[in-house]
Amino acid sequence: MKYLIVLFLLILSIQAADRPNIVWVVSEDNSASWLKLYNEYGVKMPTIEKLAENGLVFNNAFSCGPVCSVARSTIISGCYGPRVGTQYHRRQQHALMPQGLKLFPYYLREAGYYTSNNSKEDYNFNPKEKQGVWDESSGRASYKKRKDSQPFFHVQNFGTTHESSLHFKDMKKETSEDPAAMKVADYHPNTETFRYTYAYYRDQHRKVDQQIGDFLKNLEEDGLMDDTFIFYYGDHGGVLPRGKGYAYNNGLQVPMVVHVPKNWQHLVPAKRGTRVDGFVQFIDLGPTVLNLAGIEIPNGFDGKPFLGKDVKLEELNSRDKSFGYADRFDEKYDFVRTVRKGKYHYMRNYQRFNFDGLYNGYRYIQLAYKEWWKLYKEGKLNEAQSQFFEVRPNELLFDVEKDPSEVKNLADDPAYASIVQEMRGLLQKQVKSQPDLSFIPEPVMINEGIDNFVAYGQKNKQKIQKLAQIADLSLRAFPEAKSDIKQALNSDVALERYWGLIVCSNFGSQAQPFFVRAKQLAESDKDLLVRTRAAEFLGLNGADDPVPVLMDVLAKTDDVNVQGLVLNTVVLLQDGKSSHKFDLKPLLESGKWKNHKQFDPTARRLFYLTGDEQFAKKTKKRKKKK
């Protein structure tokens, strides 16, 4: 018996040693265009380029969401955020995984891998979903803590290129390149501030490349390079203005390079040094790691492997589509969905009036953001530079090869009508099949689906599909859509009235025939969100004063998620061209927000609108270790 036990343990040891190690090195907030590997004007990064020489470069790799928590929740789950309720940054309510499905490192650990993460997580999932996922996830986590001969999966995060690195207060620090030589995007003003910010951020790439190189030396010194797949990627795009948080290509396309170890070349479909054209998305990362480790991929993931057993280069290069999403980003609300197919990028702005540049406190710490907004208000920007602060089209179509800055919208060009129709169809199918939970306003989704967002979405799939159909009335000519809009505004279903009013705001002054109905809804609808959207529609078009209605809605709700959405409308109407004035002091004096949660979207908006320090972010001072 003792001999059998020893033999069994020996077999397990051999099996464990007979699997590749997998390491992710992750930089933050940097799109592919910052690297010379992807852009002739990009930064030379020797460490990453060395990985590419002995591996694969993915020419078309995409984050599904353009901001940290949304992107990382997609990666760790292998699921589209709008399907599972993780699409908002940051979450107001934790989500659960689909029934029977675990965060993907769980399966590695169950199969005998040592799993470690150093250290950023930023998941929008319930903390209990992490049970059994990591052997260690902390600033001290290391693959070196594994048992002898145990295969490992390790994630090493580098924050050097994070947005916060651009929160400098002046431009005194020297950069390694002359800012005057910087080439700025077509949508950016070519000013000293922007050129300096470009030069500064390029230096951050040089720093992170060196840091990654220092980390990889440990693998080399430990003799692990020949048995370890090393993935390098950015966690989403960015991070200069109109990058991070925005679903343009620059916010979604990321660098991705995979070092292929000598002993495991048979697990990849191309020779080392190859550039792969096939599209990969963040939903694919988890399934790919499991496939490389020889672990059966559970049903329920939205992604599929792009490396490992049974992946063929021809099929991989035939993949030419990716989907993206941008919703609430801190206190700034939005609803954008995208399809990238080949060289074309299609964007659907479901709430076109929520212009890109709408104030977001964390964004506007950057000097470049502040200057951009100032120049716009002074009328000193050209058309391309002004787009960020203007009402957006319902649909955008860009040829990213000819127009990498994405400033020339082709959606209304008859020559591209068939492409628009195809992309629109792909997106409509995507949002209806999931179904996309963002068609139900965040406060309603949280209140009604809090136990399980996935189950809630499936239960309400037909309702969501109907709301998506109402939303798409914005894509018709107004005379063709008029009768269906009227039906939505008179519906007994509150969310149909809600979306009918959003469609009216999208049509703007064309929807004048519905001013009377909107006034009725603003004054007396039982649903506070319907009243909000009605006041918004009237205020945006100068048809009525929205202030009394919105102040009344704020007075009547204690739901912080409703308050956040309403205050977004307040800022939109105040900072936008309608220029309405709001005085929130009476509500403050009444003690309305006495017990607010710091630093939620409501508090962020209140600080911006009132300047009251009680809503400012407070940082706890750490006690010094003795």
Burial degree of 291 (CB within 10 A; 0-12, 13-18, 19+): buried
Q: Dihedrals φ, ψ of 591, to 5°?
A: 80, 20
Band the pLDDT of 56: cuts 50, 70, 90: very high
pTM, entire model: 0.96
Note whether 271 and 406 are same-domain residues.
no
Query: For tokens 């710091």, what's the residue?
Result: 598
* Burial status of residue 462 (CB atoms within 10 A of its CB: 0-12, 13-18, 19 or more): exposed
513 shares a domain with 364: no
Average the pLDDT over 366-382 and give the result: 98
Are the C-beta atoms of residues 466 and 488 closer than 8 Å to each other? Answer: no
pLDDT confidence of residue 623: 40
Helix (H, G, I), strand (E, B) or coil at 332: strand
Distance CA 243, CA 236 (A): 9
Q: Bin 430: left if φ > 0, else alpha if -120 < ψ < 50, else beta.
A: alpha
Residues 354 and 491 in one domain: no
CA distance 97 to 453: 9
Q: What is the mean pLDDT of the chain?
A: 95
DSSP code for 277: E
Assess if residue 332 is contained within a domain.
Answer: no
pLDDT band with cut points at 50, 70 and 90 for residue 592: confident
pLDDT of 516 reads: 98
How many Cβ atoms sit within 10 Å of the Cβ of residue 142? 15
Residues in a beta bridge with 118: 156
Last residue of a domain, one of 411, 426, 458: 411
Same-domain check for residues 314 and 344: no
With 60 as the cut, is the pLDDT of residue 313 above it? yes
Largest CA distance in the chain: 87
Residues 30-58: what's their mean pLDDT?
A: 98
Find the domain containing 378 and state its range.
337-411
Give a yes or no: residue 331 inside a domain. no
Over residues 87-108, the pLDDT tens digits come to 999 999 999 999 999 999 999 9
614 pLDDT band, cuts 50/70/90, is: confident
**Does any domain span residue 162?**
yes
Task: Judge if 257 and 387 occupy the same domain.
Answer: no
Residue 537 lies in a domain: yes
For residue 5, what pLDDT is reported?
43
Considering the domain architecture, whether residues 308 and 350 belong to the same structural domain is answered as no
Asked which of 388, 411, 434 is the last residue of a domain, the reply is 411
CATH number for the domain spanning 203: value is: 3.40.720.10
Query: Cα 27 from chain centroid?
Result: 15
pLDDT band at 31 (very low <50, low <70, confident <90, very high): very high
pLDDT value, residue 624: 38
Instruction: Give yes or no: residues 56 and 147 share one domain.
Output: yes
- The reply to whether 14 falls in a domain is no
One domain for residues 234 and 274: yes
Assess if residue 419 is contained within a domain. no
**337 membership: H or E segment, kind and range:** strand 336-341
Residue type, 18: D
Phi, psi of 433 (to 5 degrees): -80, -30
| Joined tokens for residue 351 | 């709430």
Cβ–Cβ under 8 Å, residues 253 and 31: yes
Reply yes or no on whether the pLDDT at 192 is more than 50.
yes
Query: What pLDDT is attached to residue 16?
Result: 40
Q: Distance (Å, rounded) from C-alpha 405 to C-alpha 357?
A: 16
**pLDDT for the residue numbered 597:** 66
Q: How far is CA 359 from the centre of its chain?
A: 18
Name every residue whose Cβ is closer than 8 Å to that of residue 456 and which is 6 or more positions away in sequence: 85, 437, 445, 448, 449
Number of domains in the chain: 3
Task: Tell me the DSSP string of 567-615.
Answer: HHHHHHHHHSTT------HHHHHTTTTTTPPTTSHHHHHHHHHH--GGG
Indicate if the pLDDT at residue 17 is higher than 90. no
DSSP codes of every residue in 287-315? HHHHHHTTPPPPTT-S---SSSTT--HHH
| pLDDT at residue number 618 | 57
Q: What is the mean pLDDT of residues 266-274?
A: 98
Q: And the tokens for 513?
A: 């025939």
Span 191-203, average pLDDT? 98
CA distance 471 to 495: 11
The stretch 465-489 carries a mean pLDDT of 98
Question: Does residue 387 sit in the same domain as residue 238?
Answer: no
Question: Using alpha carbons only, how large is the chain's radius of gyration in Å?
Answer: 25
Q: What's the confidence (pLDDT) of residue 626?
A: 34
Instruction: Please choose, from the candidates 278, 323, 303, 344, the residue with its C-alpha nearest in 3D space to the C-alpha of residue 59.
Output: 278
Give dist(CA 530, CA 521) in Å, integer: 7
Confidence of residue 319 (pLDDT cuts 50, 70, 90): very high
Predicted pLDDT at 593: 86
Residues 266, 344: one domain?
no
Does residue 294 lie within any of the structural domains? Answer: yes
Q: Specify the pLDDT at position 9.
A: 41
Helix (H) or strand (E) holding 257: strand 256-259
Res. 620: pLDDT tops 60: no
Label residue 591 by pLDDT band (50, 70, 90): confident
- CA triple 388-393-397, angle to 5 deg: 95
* Cβ 247 vs Cβ 27: under 8 Å: no
Claim to verify: residue 235 and residue 357 sit in the same structural domain: no
The single residue listed with the structure tokens 């017990």 is 595
In a domain, 461, yes or no: no
Q: Alpha-carbon distance 456 to 439, whole Å? A: 13
- Residue 504's nearest CA partner among 531, 468, 538 is 538
Residues 6 or more apart in contact with residue 606 via CB below 8 angstroms: 567, 584, 588, 593, 596, 612, 615
| pLDDT, tens digit, 9 for 90 and up, residues 205-245 | 999 999 999 999 999 999 999 999 999 999 999 999 999 99
In the predicted model, what is the mean pLDDT of residues 511-533?
A: 98
Position 8 scores a pLDDT of 43
Confidence of residue 4 (pLDDT cuts 50, 70, 90): very low
35 and 149 in a single domain? The answer is: yes
pLDDT tens across 534-544, in order? 999 999 999 99
Name the burial class of residue 154, with classes exposed (0-12), middle (13-18) and buried (19+) by CB atoms within 10 angstroms of its CB: buried
**Bridge partners of residue 115, in order along the sequence:** 153
**Cis bond leading into 119, ω under 30°?**
yes
Q: Are 236 and 29 in contact (CB under 8 A)?
A: yes
pLDDT at 535: 98
- 506-521: average pLDDT: 98
Give the model confidence (pLDDT) of 146-165 as tens digits. 999 999 999 999 999 999 99
Does the pLDDT of residue 263 top 70, yes or no? Answer: yes
